[in-house]
Structure 1
């Protein structure tokens, strides 16, 4: 059996996976694995052949001709590793050669803040950071700019509470307790191709309850009166829909946000970066990492600290001022003690 034949057979057996995961596996198989290894017999796959494939992808890039990012390379390798694990279980291989392959680790890009110098550089060169977030003032400018947009409350929730786009699109009226100011995240809308899937959130930690502030509660009350009237609080109707009442797709929200970002005149960020920014703003407001972790629905506080939370300029300035104040205060105490000791000795 060739590697191509096995990969296609393996894909056909993955009926238990989420649609988005299966779509990712299929894309990696068709785009990278079959063109590189499809003609090789499964029993002749070695760590050396797989390593050579990864080296070629690093050197020559993928179908676009652009070098693959370390994250994409890891996903391609993980897909092949999963397929060959199944081949081992079916007796086609004695061991999985993909386990003995070195894959460049790479690092997640850290979110950087759109400071004035960074904006000037972007305007001069057209180059933008992979992950960037707005300052508190820029976020306020954006929200003010879209204040009259029908989906303003949705972007408000993403910008201030870090909802994922699928979580925001999947919110129902029964998920919001306006009396007690609580928002429950228990499902999301996923999209792969043209297919939509309503299911559980990304992970167990993503099932969470978020406390809402008074302004957000008032905003959602007003939105309910305007769009749904006297809707039953236990209603499973979606809060945010298209103008015709249909489901909002994650891709539609991404395209809409990009257009609104352009209209606002603010430096560009991705819709997911609005979620990054929510973590940064919460940290800058004085909340601890554990609180931010719970709000974003992360399973690990390390992920929150290392990937999603960027330190805003005003927070960094406060930290610097606090440090120098602490050092100078300690120096004064030490100096006073030394002068007292010297005087006593005299």
Structure 2
């Protein structure tokens, strides 16, 4: 009887369901990783960590045919109660990354006809919100001083960036911080930049490669996206910074060769003391150290890219210009992620909107004008005014004698 029931269920099942019964989740996840031969090394590293450390231990014993929305929600709730490798609770961001990994793996099973639909699409991660850059306003700075908490993605105002750049003007990597903050290059693009890709005469830089890490191993290859291979315009101040940087690098090479030390002629713009290319991890670590020394509100190195987009937008650049500068394949990515416009631009937009509306709403405009007049400070009386003028005449004027300028030998 039981055998007949099992046979009937087998015959009634679709071909996809019968095939899914032959795959465990563990076997499928490893098969999926093996099929991904063209993904970036960093992406593979993140996928592998999710698969080996979390997904296989919690889901590996199930069959693909067993997976449904209820089961996956139950398992993900259980994973959310665990801790990560640092002993901390699983963050909403980490849980979202797990969902992305599992969904990508099961999408391949759908495309190959092994399962009919992807149950991972029904998983929702509580508390997850895609981070957007927040500007370091005075109130946020005060809250940071009081509690130590700060936005996960933050950008400096132009004044704060100026304070940082002034403080690190003598740092060997000053040109690195300047170029990242003003032109928005990625860390890997900066570390992979060579002198042959900078035209100082015509003011243009060409992004041709990306030097990044998978773990601590350095991986150098094409830019992150096809649109990442791009020209980047350079202003005259940036050209001056780069010329000074090249001059110091040449002087450093001469000093080492004069003293018998090795110099590696790598051709990179940003190098170590011996001329070898800079490790991307060192750039991030050096930036964090300088942040602590200068006392400015904390941002990540990648946040300088957000800030560059915001500052350029405030200076008048439209979204298409920002897209080209940042190397995005879609203008939607630029609009959604990188233009956390600074408060000044918001205020300009708000003022322009109010002006447009009030130009047509005559009665409302008159009401606002009357309220403004009522709230204006009262003028002094004529007696007070004459008394103030008489006192001013009795005071001797203080004239400051100008001193001759000694700057630049004058």
TM-score with structure 1 setting the length: 0.85
Highest RCO, 1 vs 2 (Cα 8 Å, sep ≥ 6): 1
Question: 2-side partners of 1:305 and 1:88: how far apart?
Answer: 32
1:158 to 2:180 alignment: yes
1:205 Cα deviation after fit: 1.8
Q: Which residue of 2 aligns with 1:340?
A: none
Gaps of 5+ in 1: 337-346
1:43 Cα deviation after fit: 4.4
Alignment partner of 1:107: what SS? coil
TM-aligned CA distance change 1:320 to 1:97, over 3 Å = closer
1:169 to 2:191 alignment: yes
Corresponding residue to 2:215 among 193, 200, 220 = 193
TM-aligned CA distance change 1:193 to 1:60, over 3 Å = closer
1:224 Cα deviation after fit: 1.6
TM-aligned CA distance change 1:84 to 1:225, over 3 Å = same
Alignment partner of 2:275: what SS? coil
Q: How does 1:22-33 map to 2 (within 5 A)?
A: 22-33=44-55
Question: 2-side partners of 1:252 and 1:151: how far apart?
Answer: 11
1:26 Cα deviation after fit: 0.5
Gaps of 5+ in 2: 1-22, 254-264, 367-410
Question: 2-side partners of 1:100 and 1:311: how far apart?
Answer: 32
1:118 to 2:140 alignment: yes
Alignment partner of 2:205: what SS? strand
Q: Which of structures 1 and 2 has the bigger CA Rg?
A: 2
Alignment partner of 2:302: what SS? helix
TM-aligned CA distance change 1:40 to 1:213, over 3 Å = same
1:277 to 2:311 alignment: no
Alignment partner of 1:270: what SS? coil
Q: Which residue of 1 aligns with 2:317?
A: 287
User: In the comparison of the two structures, how many residue pairs are matched?
Assistant: 330
Alignment partner of 1:155: what SS? helix
Corresponding residue to 1:307 among 314, 325, 337 = 337
Corresponding residue to 2:353 among 323, 329, 334 = 323
Provide, for residues 202-245 of structure 1, a one-character-per-residue CA deviation record: whole Å limited to 9, x for no partner: 1122222111100111111222222147x9xxx97111111122
1:130 to 2:146 alignment: no
Corresponding residue to 1:98 among 110, 119, 127 = 119
Alignment partner of 2:321: what SS? helix
Question: 2-side partners of 1:274 and 1:99: how far apart?
Answer: 34
1:203 to 2:220 alignment: no
- Higher mean C-alpha displacement, 301-310 vs 130-139: 301-310
Provide, for residues 133-187 of structure 1, a one-character-per-residue CA deviation record: whole Å limited to 9, x for no partner: 1110000111111111111101101100111111111101111111110011121
